[in-house]
Structure 1
Amino acid sequence: MIGVFYLTSFTRALQGTTCWRDCHSEENNSRSRFLQQATMQFSRRKKVISSSLTEYGHSLQLYSQPPIENISLSEFETFAVERLKLLKTVDNLGVSYVKGSEDYKRKLSTEISNLNFPFRSEAGMVATELEKRRKDHISHFILRLAYCQTEDLRRWFIQQEMDLFRHRFTDLPSKFKTEFLHRNDLHYDTASTEEKEALMEKLVSSTFMVSGTTVLEQDFYKVPFQDALDLVKMRKIFLRAGFAYIPHQDIVTIVLNDFRTQLSKALALTARSLPTVQSDERLQPLLSHLSHAYVGQDYSIQKNVGKISLEQIDQLSVKSFPLCMRELQRSLREQHHLRHGGRMQYGLFLKGVGLTLDQALQFWRAEFIKGKVDSDKFDKAYAYSIRHMFGKEGKRTDYTPYSCMKIILSNPPSQGDFHGCPFRHSDPELLKQRLQTYKLSQAGISQVMELVKGMHYQLACQKYFELTHNIEDSGFTLNHPNQYFAESQRLLTGVGEMRKEADAPRGGQAVPAPTAPDALQDQPANPGPAFTEITKDLDSFFQDY
């Protein structure tokens, strides 16, 4: 355990007031400090949250009250990362499938179960279910801190939380929906029996799957039509005098409206108090990087080290490299040089693919010598930086390859650069031309460009994977270039790990393969509990010559 702090003050910051208590270690438990800001706009809860039916009596929450308990920093990080994985899955599925479709519901339900978040209410409450509800509660408030910082982050967070809430609420049995409304004091105006009888014909004809009998048996809620625009758009409800008559089966629309309003206000309040919370040196790095953190496999662990020869790189770049790395390989072969950003991005990718340090040095030396860099200049200007990236110089940190999110969000390319994400940073017309050059069908190119237009860059890359591998569904969520390579090799070779190509080019001079020269990275190979940023000094080693 790295340390313990009180969630009490942490979550009060989410409501407009901050009060931190620090316990640095068992030896310093007597030391504490308090940071106070503003006046509470919400009533304070005094009792500590315990795993009880009183606190977590339902599998679904509106997150109106913050958690108050002790929690270790390691648990803090684990909860944050696992909820982030869940929300990113919600985001990806929402683009890949029709929301509410059977495939969408099945895949999302599976992910919720795999990450141990609560889903359906259980009749017999057990300790494991209570722990899931506790995790759901705390993790939501942790991500509020990470995603309150900008308007774009708040918008993304609200949308994913709403989609997750809608899925979970819709799947509840009717009695549990009613219980949820009562537990959260959600009271809506209902149409009287006399009013339903008077409007019987219109309610039956305008409401989906409702008969005359069910009209009288169930509640119809009267709400301003602007609170049910989704149902209005689909023409699923009856409108009269500015009010929408919503059957109980569609009550999620009204609840979602309240949930959105409450969460939006809470994020605005959280943003005000964020500077005080960030003053905690243990949490600041974690909160800074959570908003675009990579939460998948660590590709600094080279499972295929030494299994790839330099002669294979050109062939593999066509068959198994994502478009960003394929473009870097092509540019390197044509220019015999990559500028700083390209060397960093491509080099670490190849390190993750399996190139050894010796192969990396051999590749970059041979390729750069074909350009304007002689052998002596390469040894003086570049060799040290390559060894540094492999953890053999300086701080001896073993740097990991860039994730998709890092490539998309940081260090955009300028004139003369070839790094970045082609789906994010390329001109659409140039991207189309490149895809045509790589023999994608016109229909496939249209599918990719539609995703690019919607700013779903990782999904566009995943569609590129499916088109170049002639499959309908890749069966994974793409988050990392090295994941793309690994999945491609698994599909092409039928094995989990890379193997040497039997048809690799023979004879002639070996064509060196790009390895990890100059790369800053997402996280070190053994990241600390707070995604500690330790790569800032690496840039100084990579200068353009």
Structure 2
Amino acid sequence: MQFPSRRRKQTSNPQTELYAHPLQFYGEPPLENMSLAEFETFAVDRLKLLKTVENLGVSYVKLSEPYAKKLESEFKNLSFPYRPEADDRKTQSGPNEYDKRRKDHISHFILRLAYCQTEDLRRWFIQQEVDLFRYRFNDLPAKQKLEFLHRNNLQYDTISVEEKKSLLDKLVNSSYAVSGITVEDQDFYKVPFQDALDLVRTRKVYLKAGYVYIPHQDIVTIVLNDFRTRLSKALALTARSLPAVHSDERLQPLLNHLSHAYVGQDYSIQKNVGKISLEQIDSLSGKSFPLCMRQLHQSLRENHHLRHGGRMQYGLFLKGIGLSLEQALQFWRSEFIRGKVDADKFDKAYAYGIRHMFGKEGKRADYTPYSCMKVILSNAPSQGDHHGCPFRHSDPELLKQKLQFYKVSPSGISQILELVKGMHYQLACQKYFELTHNIEDANFSLNHPNQYFIESQRVLGGGKDIKREMDAPQRPQEITAAKGNNAPREAATNDPQGLADMTEDLDSFFQDA
């Protein structure tokens, strides 16, 4: 049996036909005009969705009931198509299905532009999109699954009745949830084994002479492989077109930094400046600093110096937990003069940089602490550096020794290293948090070193954050670009000059993110 190609209906609006099915391979790019504000909103919402997919994929069994329930909730919150809709009419509860499918289509291509730039970004994007596609394909009714295969001209050869009978026992014994009765009632597809590695790895199919025999109910495996292959090739092609895209001065700042963008709480607003004394830092570093900051603090204490990358990462973190400019100058000066830097040299060569962090020099931008994404993906440390993410940038054996030194249990170290192996660096840090605070579930998704500190203080304080008030505002979904601009986003969108000002400040915003 083969799936014949189906001729598409000719319509006056190609987009209507494109969104006729709730799922697609994203083979055709969007061709419509849209505002920069909508462009940003779509990009950030999909990034939030993919981050949720990543977190759930490690915290729960994929496609389990809790996994599906939480992911469906995220689809609803962000207005993405979360289950097939038979009725496309508008309802009072939100946008119609066409609008959701349009958002799904366009947002995928926006993040494609942002995540095609490096091998690590491509690998992360493909994995999350594949997991998202798997969930959505499995959620389709059988009729719509078949329609999807037809629409995408997916042709798979089925084995003959005679071959099925000759392999009956082997198919029953090796195929997941297949009995002798259902073998006769359903098709089996003969597919090269490399197209179904997930099923081979879990021994859910019969393997013979380089081919696997897949029951129709598991066809999602080879559909996923097709999707992964197409997306990988598309990202490579997209990367080649980036120079042309970057020539657009409206998009270039956004696309250059979107992959590093932080979409959680804003830790730039210091409501407790000065409430942490310099004498507390050593103690706090051992119990409430994330591993990246603990590593920087220890290196500073041992060497009495940090290179620029370390000073920026650690200095902004200290600023975020409440150190004032005066305290920061005193802290860095006292440490540096213990090394090879005298007080006069510090004032001439280093004090400017500290004042610059606080917006008192240069362009007077009030820089914010680095998010996990920025620490992981930008300015990788070289020899002699101590900044970066230990889970991303440390040798696994060195990381293991470091965790042992900090008295993490052997089983905990194994869990962390397994997450690191899967490139789930933020989840590895979250596991480190749980192990060092003796809790089973942190009940938050770790996205920021300063978030780690605040959550640690809350746990150690018996549920009360004793160091900083916890009403830090959320960044708007659209990533409000201008620091200190309190005007509503809608006003900027409706005002051409406001939108122009917002665009000009995008680059400085992402530098601070």
Give the Cα–Cα distance (whole angstroms) in 2 for the partners of residues 210 and 536 of structure 1. Answer: 52
Does 2:258 align with 1:290? yes
Higher helix share: 2
Q: Is the 8 A contact 1:189 1:222 kept in 2?
A: yes
One-letter code aligned to 2:359: G
Moved more, 197-206 or 207-216: 197-206
2:495 matched to which residue of 1? none
One-letter code aligned to 2:248: D
1:541 matched to which residue of 2? none
What do the CA deviations read for 1:97-156 (whole angstroms, capped 9, x no partner)?
443444444443343333322121123334423222111100111122223334443333
1:242 deviates by 5.8
- Among 340, 356, 371, the alignment partner of 1:403 is 371
Give the Cα–Cα distance (whole angstroms) in 1 for the partners of residues 205 and 510 of structure 2. Answer: 56
Superposed, 1:387-536 pairs within 5 Å as 387-495=355-463, 497-499=465-467, 525=483, 528=502, 532-534=506-508
1:146 matched to which residue of 2? 114
1:6 matched to which residue of 2? none
One-letter code aligned to 1:154: R
1:195 deviates by 6.0
2:78 matched to which residue of 1? 115
SS in 2 for 1:362: helix
Moved more, 338-347 or 148-157: 148-157
Give the Cα–Cα distance (whole angstroms) in 2 for the partners of residues 536 and 475 of structure 1. Answer: 28
One-letter code aligned to 2:25: L
SS in 2 for 1:533: helix
One-letter code aligned to 1:479: N
Does 2:181 align with 1:210? no
Q: 1:64 to 1:531 in 2, by over 3 A?
A: farther
1:318 matched to which residue of 2? 286
Q: 1:372 to 1:212 in 2, by over 3 A?
A: closer
2:493 matched to which residue of 1? none
1:23 matched to which residue of 2? none
1:352 matched to which residue of 2? 320
One-letter code aligned to 2:230: Q
1:470 deviates by 0.6
What TM-score do the two structures reach when normalised by structure 1? 0.76
Give the Cα–Cα distance (whole angstroms) in 2 for the partners of residues 404 and 58 of structure 1. Answer: 36
Superposed, 1:180-219 pairs within 5 Å as 180-191=148-159, 196=164, 200-219=168-187
SS in 2 for 1:360: helix
- Among 44, 66, 73, the alignment partner of 2:29 is 66
1:278 deviates by 1.7
Q: Is the 8 A contact 1:47 1:68 kept in 2?
A: no
Give the Cα–Cα distance (whole angstroms) in 2 for the partners of residues 383 and 243 of structure 1. Answer: 66
1:508 matched to which residue of 2? none
1:377 deviates by 4.2
Structure 2, unmatched stretches of 5+, are 1-7, 470-480, 486-501
2:498 matched to which residue of 1? none
Q: 1:417 to 1:189 in 2, by over 3 A?
A: closer
Q: Is the 8 A contact 2:455 2:465 kept in 1?
A: no
SS in 1 for 2:71: helix
Q: 1:526 to 1:334 in 2, by over 3 A?
A: same
1:77 deviates by 1.6
1:375 deviates by 4.5
SS in 2 for 1:406: helix
- Among 42, 54, 66, the alignment partner of 1:79 is 42
Give the Cα–Cα distance (whole angstroms) in 2 for the partners of residues 430 and 152 of structure 1. Answer: 21
Superposed, 1:190-339 pairs within 5 Å as 190-191=158-159, 196=164, 200-239=168-207, 243-339=211-307
SS in 1 for 2:507: coil
SS in 1 for 2:213: strand
What do the CA deviations read for 1:18-37 (whole angstroms, capped 9, x no partner)?
xxxxxxxxxxxxxxxxxxxx
Percent of aligned pairs with the same amino acid: 74
Give the Cα–Cα distance (whole angstroms) in 1 for the partners of residues 468 and 98 of structure 2. Answer: 49
Q: Is the 8 A contact 2:172 2:180 kept in 1?
A: yes
2:123 matched to which residue of 1? 155
SS in 2 for 1:343: helix
Give the Cα–Cα distance (whole angstroms) in 2 for the partners of residues 295 and 243 of structure 1. Answer: 45
1:381 matched to which residue of 2? 349
Give the Cα–Cα distance (whole angstroms) in 1 for the partners of residues 327 and 35 of structure 2. Answer: 42
Give the Cα–Cα distance (whole angstroms) in 2 for the partners of residues 77 and 297 of structure 1. Answer: 18
Q: 1:432 to 1:63 in 2, by over 3 A?
A: closer
Q: Is the 8 A contact 2:483 2:509 kept in 1?
A: no
Q: Is the 8 A contact 1:399 1:524 kept in 2?
A: no
Q: 1:525 to 1:399 in 2, by over 3 A?
A: farther
1:480 deviates by 1.5
Give the Cα–Cα distance (whole angstroms) in 2 for the partners of residues 536 and 175 of structure 1. Answer: 45
SS in 1 for 2:506: coil
Q: 1:497 to 1:72 in 2, by over 3 A?
A: farther
CA RMSD of aligned residues (A): 3.3
Q: Is the 8 A contact 2:320 2:369 kept in 1?
A: yes
Q: 1:82 to 1:304 in 2, by over 3 A?
A: farther
What do the CA deviations read for 1:171-221 (whole angstroms, capped 9, x no partner)?
223233223223434343345667656655544343222234433443433
Q: Is the 8 A contact 2:317 2:450 kept in 1?
A: yes
1:410 deviates by 3.1
